[in-house]
Structure 1
Amino acid sequence: MVLLAAAVCTKAGKAIVSRQFVEMTRTRIEGLLAAFPKLMNTGKQHTFVETESIRMYFVLFLCPLIPPFLHVVFLSCAPPVS
């Protein structure tokens, strides 16, 4: 699985900082991060959300440098559907 990007974003999906590891446009990254909160089901704890082409991992870091209202999200290629 290829890591496409890593980002720190708000709970609403607005990117604070992002690092792309493959060629992707800024609008594509912002769109994926904005879609992440909408794809999560309320009332359940998620570690990843998967669409046809992207798998988004949510990681909660217990670090004093990252406030609790920010999320760390990793975007990777989703595996092919068999």
Structure 2
Amino acid sequence: MHNNLTKNSTYLLSLLRSHADNEGNVGITLSQLAREMQVCVNTVISAVGLLEKSGLVQVTREQRSKNAIGKESAGRNIYRLL
């Protein structure tokens, strides 16, 4: 285990592993992760950053898009477990 990981980043890694497909990929939004972790989105963003810096996760970020009524929504991120 990496010593620089927080409780939240360790929990996030576990959560991502539970959602991963056979290739280690997870497609999910930050808000979905925040709901599952019962934390705010900023906490998830910080945890993702630590996982990236530790070389445990690679993130491909999708661009924001607008729905039919013009409301902007975040795209899904693709998390690849390394």
Structure with the higher fraction of residues in helix conformation: 2
Max Rg structure: 2
TM-score normalised according to structure 1 size: 0.38
TM-score, normalised via structure 2 length: 0.38
